[in-house]
Chain A
């Protein structure tokens, strides 16, 4: 038994599509910026790409990230709640 009622019944699909494109733009900008950051640092003799890949946050940084991640998710959920 597969239920196909849409989750976000009242969201107009265009709005959702536009929100997705906005998000994709943001994500791409971050990816671009991060790549530029690595290139700038490498030009100065600091090789970071591999270090970034393997960096393991210590307890303090992990806690900060967890807090910011939670706030980010909450903001996302809130905007979806209001958008419905």
Chain B
């Protein structure tokens, strides 16, 4: 959909996105400033608490590091409200089209009693003011203004390619039916649709507002997605139904108990011989010690991601095997081992029912 931000919203978003990118050089400065004083990777402890005990005071003593943290705290705290303010400037110009894209042809199936798990409810992930559902057009605000305009520039436009690589890693050929868990505004769904253009794609999320943005995207691009509001713990789908069950960037937002529950549900709806493929951020064991500390510091401690550490230190393969999958591997893709992908096979070779 075509839209143009007004001067204030546009300039403010550009300022925030640039500050986020340009302040990154302070990270290299802090690395360099501590290179001589910080223990070599081989001498650093493996455990995360011990790593913090050694490295946090060392780095927090470096002025460039504290300035970097000031910049990152500020951009994290501001980005949600800034995006909502930019939306208010264009509200009257875009809502008619946003509403029209929801009219047809495909609907979102809303849950009568939407589940609102405690780990999800009210939590502003990534310190994004408003959370997933906190605004009448939160799907557009998050998917377009935050994701496309603020986050994407920061990753040099790679966030869509990364999603597609996860779908491409699924060891399935010509799947008939695919279920996505936690589709949000449909970013990974687009990747799945590109890799498997002939599959029937169903996708669920807890957030009605995000599903509505996925619906707009699907309607605009003539994609026949079945979008429904449900938690990955209880999708309401038939047993043994999908050739592939998949998700991207959802599990790092789940406490381990919920992750295990979602995997049991994935197993139930995957057809015998079919696959569940879960992509998400890199596991801690794949980092060297200093980078592991950084990843934890900026996401768990300072990024507003309360389950990040739990996710990154728990083997998804073990969780999948415990859930009852016949085989499971959890490995990083490509030279940077990013993202990490769980590939889990359900026993049997039945065909889709």
Interface assignment of A1: CB less than 8 Å from any CB of chain B? yes
User: What is the CB-to-nearest-CB distance from B6 to chain A, in angstroms, rounded to a whole number?
Assistant: 5
Encode contact with B along A54-84: 1 for CB under 8 Å, 0 otherwise.
1110000000011001100110010011001
Interface assignment of B73: CB less than 8 Å from any CB of chain A? yes
**In the assembly, what is the distance between CA of A81 and CA of B65, in Å?**
10
**In the assembly, what is the distance between CA of A12 and CA of B60, in Å?**
18
Interface assignment of B4: CB less than 8 Å from any CB of chain A? yes
Interface assignment of A3: CB less than 8 Å from any CB of chain B? yes
Interface assignment of B38: CB less than 8 Å from any CB of chain A? no
The residues in B between 275 and 294 inclusive whose CB is less than 8 angstroms from any CB of A are none
In the complex, which residue of chain B has the Cβ closest to the Cβ of A50? B6
The residues in B between 12 and 58 inclusive whose CB is less than 8 angstroms from any CB of A are 14-15, 18-19, 22-23, 26, 56
CB neighbours (8 Å) of A52 from chain B are 7
Question: Is A53 a contact partner of B19 (Cβ separation < 8 A)?
Answer: no
User: What is the CB-to-nearest-CB distance from B236 to chain A, in angstroms, rounded to a whole number?
Assistant: 37
Question: Is A55 a contact partner of B7 (Cβ separation < 8 A)?
Answer: yes
Question: Is B301 a contact partner of A69 (Cβ separation < 8 A)?
Answer: no
Which of the four size classes fits the interface of chain B?
Answer: 20 to 34
Assuming A70-B18, A73-B22, what are 19 further A-B pairs, CB within 8 angstroms? A1-B300, A1-B301, A3-B56, A3-B301, A3-B302, A7-B66, A7-B69, A7-B70, A8-B66, A10-B63, A53-B7, A54-B7, A69-B14, A73-B19, A73-B23, A77-B26, A77-B71, A81-B67, A84-B63
CB neighbours (8 Å) of A53 from chain B are 6-7, 89
From known contacts A1-B301, A53-B6, A77-B26, infer whether A69 and B64 are also in contact, taking CB-CB under 8 Å.
Answer: no
Question: Is A54 a contact partner of B18 (Cβ separation < 8 A)?
Answer: no
Interface assignment of A9: CB less than 8 Å from any CB of chain B? yes
Question: Is A84 a contact partner of B67 (Cβ separation < 8 A)?
Answer: yes
User: What is the CB-to-nearest-CB distance from A20 to chain B, in angstroms, rounded to a whole number?
Assistant: 13
**In the assembly, what is the distance between CA of A67 and CA of B18, in Å?**
10
Interface assignment of A44: CB less than 8 Å from any CB of chain B? no
CB neighbours (8 Å) of B302 from chain A are 3
CB neighbours (8 Å) of B26 from chain A are 77, 81
**In the assembly, what is the distance between CA of A1 and CA of B308, in Å?**
13
**In the assembly, what is the distance between CA of A10 and CA of B73, in Å?**
18
> Which residues does A use to contact B, with CB under 8 Å?
1, 3, 5-10, 52-56, 65-66, 69-70, 73-74, 77, 80-81, 84
Question: Is B14 a contact partner of A77 (Cβ separation < 8 A)?
Answer: no
User: What is the CB-to-nearest-CB distance from A8 to chain B, in angstroms, rounded to a whole number?
Assistant: 6
User: What is the CB-to-nearest-CB distance from B90 to chain A, in angstroms, rounded to a whole number?
Assistant: 10
CB neighbours (8 Å) of A9 from chain B are 66
User: What is the CB-to-nearest-CB distance from A48 to chain B, in angstroms, rounded to a whole number?
Assistant: 11
**In the assembly, what is the distance between CA of A19 and CA of B60, in Å?**
23
**In the assembly, what is the distance between CA of A16 and CA of B23, in Å?**
19
Question: Is A56 a contact partner of B70 (Cβ separation < 8 A)?
Answer: no
The residues in B between 52 and 105 inclusive whose CB is less than 8 angstroms from any CB of A are 56, 60, 63-64, 66-67, 69-71, 73, 89
**In the assembly, what is the distance between CA of A21 and CA of B8, in Å?**
21
**In the assembly, what is the distance between CA of A38 and CA of B4, in Å?**
22
Residue from the list B6, B15, B18, B67 in contact with A80, Cβ < 8 A:
B67
CB neighbours (8 Å) of A70 from chain B are 18, 22
Q: Give the most central of B63, B73, B89: most A CB within 10 Å.
A: B63
Question: Is B66 a contact partner of A77 (Cβ separation < 8 A)?
Answer: no
In the complex, which residue of chain A has the Cβ closest to the Cβ of B93? A54
From known contacts A3-B302, A70-B18, A77-B23, infer whether A54 and B66 are also in contact, taking CB-CB under 8 Å.
Answer: no
In the complex, which residue of chain B has the Cβ closest to the Cβ of A62? B14
In the complex, which residue of chain B has the Cβ closest to the Cβ of A82? B63
CB neighbours (8 Å) of A1 from chain B are 300-301
Question: Is A81 a contact partner of B63 (Cβ separation < 8 A)?
Answer: yes
Encode contact with A along B212-239: 1 for CB under 8 Å, 0 otherwise.
0000000000000000000000000000
CB neighbours (8 Å) of A65 from chain B are 14
Question: Is A54 a contact partner of B6 (Cβ separation < 8 A)?
Answer: yes
From known contacts A7-B69, A81-B64, infer whether A66 and B14 are also in contact, taking CB-CB under 8 Å.
Answer: yes
